[in-house]
Amino acid sequence: GIPYPNPFNPTVHFTLQVTDPAPVSLSIVDVSGRTIFTFPAQFVSPGTSQWSWEGVNSQGEAVATGMYFLVGRQGQHRQTRKILLLK
């Protein structure tokens, strides 16, 4: 799904449509390719699941204004969405 609101401050929400039960991993990556936040991997049942990111890194510290990428993986499938944090 499309992240909303986008741009965001301080929280962005997004949904995932899953057709087959499988583990899902999600991470937030900065423009230099560094993973700054990783959601705990979850086994997701078919349907829609909702997620949110609070604009913090893995240590719980607020991240800077800028563009980030939401990267989702389920099995062999990978999807990337741009998100913009404005403060």
CA 84 to chain centre: 12
CB atoms within 10 A of CB 26: 20
pLDDT digits (tens, 9 = 90+) for 18-29: 888 888 899 999
Record the pTM. 0.89
Residue 53 has pLDDT above 90, yes or no: yes
Instruction: Compute the CA torsion angle 41, 42, 43, 44 (nearest 10 deg).
Output: -120
Six-digit token pair at 72?
């989702």
Burial code (b: 16+ CB inside 10 Å, e: under 16) for 56-74 equals ebeeeeebeeeebebbbbb
Six-digit token pair at 56?
């913090």
